[in-house]
Structure formats: C-alpha cells, structure tokens
Homo-oligomer: A and B are copies of this chain.
C-alpha cells in the first residue's frame, strides 16, 4: 500500500463541502463518510466479530491508553496484533490516549514532554510521551494510529489553549519522526486549539505542513457551545488538504454527523449507539425510542419493521427487548447494540449515496428538522 494513494474521492456534493470516497488501509477499504464503532477494550461492548460485521461496520476504533494498561501492548503484539487478538480482520483505528486526559482527568497530569497517568486500574504510573504512544501503536498494529494530543475542557483561557496547542504541535512533529519507518500503518494528527478559532486554524496550517496521512479534529464537544463547535469544524476543513481524510473525534449524534459531513468531514466515532443501547434507547428513522416506555410492554413488532439488522430480521419484539432490559439481562444490551450500530451504518450508507447522486445538500436541508436529527446527545 502506498501511503500517498490511500485516499480517493469518488464524488463531491455540488452544494456543500460533502464528499464521498474510499480510504484504503492494510485491512481493507473503508467507504467514507464512515462511522467507527467504539471498541475501547478490544471489544465493541457485548458484540463478537461476526456481530460487528453483520451490523455493517467497516472499521472500528480501540484505545491505545486503555489497551496499554490492560492487557498491555506487548501481550497484544505477541498475540499477533489487535486484529488477530480480537478476531476482527477489518480496519482498526486506535486513539492515542490524549482524550483520557479529559475522561480520566483526576488521574492525569500533563507535562511538556507527555502525559502522566496514575492508571485507572491499580494506580501504577504510565507516562505517555509522543514516542511511547507511537511505540504502543506499532505493537498494537492497528491500520490507523493517532498522535498524542492535549485536549482542553471548557471553559479555558487563551493562554492555556496556546500552551496546550504548542505542546500538541511539538508532539505531532516528534510522532511523525518516530513513525516514519512504519509501513502498513497510517498516522493521523489531531487539530487542537480549544475554543479559539484562530488557534484551531493555525494548528491545522502547522499540521498540514508536516503532511500526515489524515487529520482529526479533537477536543470538541467538551462543553463549548454547539455553534462554536460547528464553526470550528467548518473553518478547519477549509484549511485541511482535500486529498486526505478528515476525522471529527467523539462526535456522533445523527445531526452532528450530517452537519459535519456537509463541512467535508469523512470519519466519525462515538459511543452513542452502544451506550444508548445499554440504556434502552433505540435509533430509528422516526427518532429515538426508549424501550422502557410502557407502550412497548405488549408490542410484538420488531424495533423497526423496515430495518435489516439481525435483531429486527429475527423479529425480536419490543415486548421481549423490554423484558430483557427490565430484567437486566445482557442479551438485551447486545440485541439493542446490534440494532443501533446497524442504524448508524445505514445512516452513513444513505449519506454516501446522497453525495454520489449529488443530492446531499438538498436532502440535508429537507431533513434537518426531522426528529432523528434533532437529538442532542
């Protein structure tokens, strides 16, 4: 695989920045825009590899920090890498662990040369430098590795954002150098800059100069107003090269996705479909439904009659799913995760088709007020 030719654009929407393409990785081709199912611990919660595949997922995401803590990158390397370990032979992207500075903030502290964690399992120290994070991902061997970055919680001062950004940029440079002899693995960098548009744009410009295989926007949806988030994404994609994939990290309502696609974003990941399944919330084209509602007690219909997921195809009823949910039976979480992930993949397929037909922006404008696209988290 030549790294230079890994991303192909197939069609551009005439009335927005949306584009559809294909991202070639060592483990196969990912049609874009793509949604990655989250499998932090080398498992998309409750699903085996067949379930993931049957849900239509082309690519999944795991987490370098979490897997480094348990079971350890060396073990996964000795087991033949992440694909072999979890028996998923499709593409995998690993996030670096920068986000854990936010999600595990009480255990983490940032220094100029990296992030120190008291790990969340036994308190042992783990120090993530840019070099270390590349080394971990060499051993995990996903198709796409991410550089380490420093996201900021909101609100933050401009000075803090500047300091964090300068670290993130230096780390990106070190990462690229560390990674230069790694073949078979793409390396994406992450645009930071907090909530300051000019810092974000500067970050994008600096990273583009370094020439990565793809560009992510990180540290978004951490508390800043949605209009600010969207403004940043819209502006930054203007700066990023057209011929490289763009990835907005951790954002993921259907409404977020279609808006970001219209700004030219190609990749997404989010825990929403699996986390909501755990809470009994199901995605359908008519909106989100809570399986807890008493109207479903005696409802023999599948979640969605038109849906082709394994849960709906096998006609597991709303009544049965509600019973499993109320009984806290793990099967309920699995059947509902299968449905939600399938829904997300159908959404992405739909988006890709609309772009190819040149109808994306019209479709977006016509549907933006539909309930499913108004869901806020």
Q: Mask for A329-344, Cβ within 8 A of B = 1, else 0?
A: 1110111000000000
The residues of B that contact A335 with a CB separation of less than 8 Å are 48
| Interface pick from A38-46, A154-162, A232-240 | A38-46
Interface size counted on chain A using CB atoms at 8 A: 39
Instruction: Tell whether, in the assembled complex, residue B323 and residue A70 are in contact, meaning their CB atoms are under 8 Å apart.
Output: yes
Instruction: Using A297-B75, A298-B78 as known contacts, say yes or no to A85 and B320 having CB atoms under 8 A apart.
Output: yes
What mask results when residues 70 to 87 of chain A are scored 1 for a CB within 8 Å of chain B, else 0? 110001001110001111
Contact partner of A320 among B70, B78, B86, B298, CB < 8 A? B86
B334 near A298 with CB under 8 A, answer no
User: Are the CB atoms of A329 and B43 closer together than 8 Å?
Assistant: yes
Nearest-CB distance from A37 to chain B (Å)?
13
Copies of this protein in the assembly total: 2
| Listed stretches A17-25, A90-98, A247-255, A310-318; interface member | A310-318
Measured in the bound complex, the distance between the Cα atoms of B47 and A42 in whole Å is 20
Asked whether A327 is an interface residue with its Cβ less than 8 Å from the other chain, the reply is yes
- A49 located at the interface, meaning its Cβ lies under 8 Å from any Cβ of chain B in the complex: yes
Q: Which residue of B lies closest to A322 (CB)?
A: B71
Is A300 interfacial (CB 8 A cutoff)? yes
Q: Which of B47, B319, B334 contacts A71 (CB 8 A)?
A: B319
Does A11 count as interface, using CB distance less than 8 angstroms?
Answer: no
Q: Is the CB of A331 within 8 A of B71?
A: no
B320 touches A87 (CB 8 A): yes
Contact A330 B329 (CB under 8 A): no
Q: Counting CB contacts under 8 A, is A324 at the interface? A: yes
How close is A140's CB to chain B, nearest CB, in angstroms?
A: 13
* Bound CA–CA A78/B86 (angstroms): 41
Interface residue? A293 (CB, 8 A): no
A326 CB within 8 Å of chain B: yes
A331 interface neighbour in B46, B75, B79, B323, Cβ under 8 Å? B46
Query: Chain B contacts of A323 at CB under 8 A?
Result: 41-42, 70-71, 85
- Could you pull out 6 A-B pairs where Cβ atoms are within 8 angstroms? A43-B329, A71-B323, A79-B319, A80-B300, A84-B300, A330-B333
* Nearest 3 Cβ contacts at the A-B interface: A71-B323, A330-B330, A46-B330
Q: With A75-B298, A79-B319, A330-B334 given, can you name 9 additional A-B contacts, CB distance below 8 Å?
A: A41-B323, A43-B331, A45-B329, A70-B326, A78-B298, A79-B300, A85-B317, A87-B320, A330-B330
Chain A residues proximal to chain B, CB less than 8 Å: 41-43, 45-50, 70-71, 75, 78-80, 84-87, 297-298, 300, 314-317, 319-320, 322-324, 326-327, 329-331, 333-335
